[in-house]
Amino acid sequence: MAGKRKRGADSTSREPQVQNTTLPQKKYYRQRAHANPFSDHALEYPASPDAMDWSPHYPAFAGTGKTPEFADVGCGFGGLLIALAPLYPDTIMLGMEIRVQVSQYVQDRIEALRATSALEAPPSETVSTPGPYQNVSIVRANAMKFFPNYFPKASLSAVFFLFPDPHFKARKHKARIISPTLLAEYAYALKPGGIVYTITDVKDLHDWMRTHLEEFPLFEPVSEEALREEGRGPILDAVYRSTEEGKKVERNKGQKWLACFRRLEVKRE
């Protein structure tokens, strides 16, 4: 694709694709739980947001000028995207996942859901309105390196960091997805008033993310109660319960720590 660059090589094999009308099975896409963000993975990425052609990702919205508004960083098996897609059908959502097998699973899952929904929808709906799940897609990407390559300034209204890799050892804290440098990139892409959602079952990581966001001048904390009053309850419910990690924590009767922050508007003198 024009405007794309490629880094490195990846020896991970890929399982055969499943039929579009059959939902993929996770057992054929298994991979290690985490990937090293500093490794030189085989990645294609746009040279800039302007070089990104979104029409293959969202064909039903081609020509509308719409670009992603929700970004799920480290989207895993796509639980959040699938949960939110029918709730916000006019909002374009993008998952970012570095693991090749996992990202392929999400892509196949979305394609299967689109195909199944198209077969079940009345003919009038398939012509006049975009079908279900047309508003979600995924890119295999390393958000720590290439987040600004995908999103223009003030283009996002929500960024999600759900159960990210805690990188327990102190020498690996530099690989955590929240840091002052990365927060500058997230703030650049977020609209004023946009929300950063973080959740984890690791208290140390929760404290790390919350403290870095509190100390960053372009974010202010916002309570769960305030967000629900603003009508964001469905988003918060999905943040808590839609991901594979979140469901695992519930099965194990673990605790989840949520922290949300609003992007401030900078007033120029």
- The verdict on whether residue 74 carries a ligand-binding annotation is yes
- The verdict on whether residue 82 carries a ligand-binding annotation is no
- The verdict on whether residue 51 carries a ligand-binding annotation is no
Residue 90 appears among annotated catalytic residues = no
- The verdict on whether residue 254 carries a ligand-binding annotation is no
Annotated catalytic residue within 108, 165, 207, 237: 165
- The verdict on whether residue 98 carries a ligand-binding annotation is yes
Q: Which two tokens stand for residue 255?
A: 């605790």
- The verdict on whether residue 20 carries a ligand-binding annotation is no
| Type of residue found at 239 | V
- The verdict on whether residue 97 carries a ligand-binding annotation is yes
DSSP of 19-43, one letter per residue? Answer: PTTS---GGGS---S---TTS---E
Query: Mind telling me the catalytic residues?
Result: 165
Binding residues: 74, 97-98, 142-143, 162, 243-245
Binding residues for S-adenosyl-L-methionine: 74, 97-98, 142-143, 162, 243-245
